[in-house]
Chain A
Amino acid sequence: MSKIIVVTSGKGGVGKTTTSASIATGLALRGHKTVVIDFDVGLRNLDLIMNCERRVVYDFVNVINGEAALSQALIKDKHSDKLFILPASQTRDKDALTQEGVEKVLNELSKTFDYIVCDSPAGIEHGALMALYFADEAVVVTNPEVSSVRDSDRILGIIHSKSKRAAMGLEPIKEHLLLTRYSPERVKRGEMLSVQDVEEILSIPLLGVIPESQSVLTASNQGVPVIHDEISDAGQAYLDAVARLLGESKEHRFLDLPKKGFFKRMFGGTA
């Protein structure tokens, strides 16, 4: 039996695909056989972030429609032989993901994989619903910003009411808050919601805080999930988050600015 983890947010562009790629990679690096599925039908991007865009032949919808076998559509990661990618279709419309079809594919994947990571599309429509429906755990990606927090709260409401676990009265989906694009400097200046603020509003356990980091763009330019960049703050923050997902306790990092001297604080210490 495998564990199904959905990476979701409601709001678009907050870092779901970045997070899916890094979490899936991190789980594989830790020795777990992992597949990451792109649910963003029509707007696939995970293939680019994982640098396998030129190897896509068949996709998720082909498998659902019986046009290709699962083994033909799965792409093996270049860095890890424990990691596979199931790309989204570039052309179809979102309704191509039927609940029965998704269930069939997930059932087949759970025979061989330890973890199934589902990269959700933005929004609260069909695609997002399909991505979270069968989940055991949810990583709710949130930026410290009003509309993102509000949308996270809405997606939590949907997890509570519309997931399979909710519909069948099973144990609820385990929820994790992942705060991304965090800037301790702006929090200190009172310009950005703090981790504590967001935790207080959403009241779900904190999985990690990923700082706003140039390394994320560098990584996506190269098609290497940022978790491989072990020197970068974002890479380390993702490594920590994966460890916590696996049940380890790790102190949260990158929440504060490095301490500065008095003069630096008084005279232009913001750079």
Chain B
Amino acid sequence: MRFWDYFRTSKPSTASMAKERLQIIVAHERGSHAQPDYLPKLQQELLDVISKYVQINRDDVQVQLDRNDSCAVLELNITLPE
């Protein structure tokens, strides 16, 4: 560390930028590679059921499967209109 760098510690380091970018891209890629092929159909059927009661768009229903060592979590994210 050079003398003047001592007084400029508030700037985020490039390493922390790297980490942040990696966390985002890795999470994204893990999600897209490992999704089972029934998910689009599941999404469509959920959409059909919900549409019986409220008016929503396809994008308002998000379905994602997260796996870790011991279990799998099916995450449903449904955004209802105001």
Q: In the complex, what distance in Å separates the CA atom of A267 from the CA atom of B6?
A: 10
**Chain A's interface: helix, strand, loop or mixed, by majority?**
helix
Tell me the smallest distance from the CB of B32 to a CB of chain A, in Å. 10
Q: Is the interface of B mostly helix, strand, loop or mixed?
A: helix
Out of B6, B16, B19, B33, name the residue touching A157 (CB < 8 Å): B33
B14: chain A residues at CB < 8 Å are 190-191
Are A201 and B22 CB-contacts (below 8 A) given A153-B30, A269-B1? yes
Asked if A201 meets B26 with Cβ closer than 8 Å, knowing A146-B21, A157-B33, the reply is yes
Does B19 contact A201, Cβ atoms closer than 8 Å?
yes
A-B contact number at CB 8 A: 55
A13-21, A79-87, A94-102, A192-200: which one contacts chain B? A192-200
Identify the closest chain B residue to A161 (Cβ): B34
Category for how many chain B residues contact A:
10 to 19
Asked if B23 and A201 sit within 8 Å, CB to CB, the answer is yes
For B16, what are the chain A residues with a Cβ–Cβ distance below 8 Å? 190
For A145, what are the chain B residues with a Cβ–Cβ distance below 8 Å? 18
Q: Which residues of B contact A258 (CB under 8 A)?
A: none
Shortest Cβ gap from B26 to chain A (Å): 5
| Chain A 170-210: CB-based contact to B (< 8 A → 1; otherwise 0) | 00000000000000000111111110010011000000000
**B21 and A190 contact, CB distance less than 8 A:** no
Asked if A193 contacts B19 (CB within 8 A), the reply is yes
B29 within 8 A of A: yes
State A201–B29 Cα separation when bound (angstroms): 13
- Nearest to A190 among chain B residues (CB) is B13
Taking CB atoms, residues of chain A closer than 8 Å to B72 are: none
**B2 pairs with A191, CB closer than 8 A:** no
The answer, yes or no, to whether A247 is at the interface (CB within 8 Å) is: no
Query: Which residues on A sit within 8 Å (CB–CB) of B49?
Result: none
A161 to B35: give the CA distance in the assembly, Å. 12
In the bound assembly, the distance between CA atoms of A8 and B22 in angstroms comes to: 20
A270 within 8 A of B: yes
Q: Which of B34-72 contact A (CB under 8 A)?
A: 34
A150 B22 Cβ-Cβ under 8 A: yes
A202, closest chain B residue (CB): B26
Chain B residues closer than 8 Å to A64, beta-carbon distance: none
A95 to chain B, nearest CB (A): 24
Query: Which 5 pairs between the two chains have the least Cβ-Cβ distance?
Result: A190-B13, A197-B19, A153-B26, A190-B15, A146-B18
Interface residues in chain A, defined as those with a beta carbon under 8 Å from any beta carbon in chain B:
145-146, 149-150, 153-154, 157, 160-161, 187-194, 197, 200-201, 265-270
Q: Which residues of B contact A (CB under 8 A)?
A: 1-3, 6, 13-16, 18-19, 21-23, 25-26, 29-30, 33-34
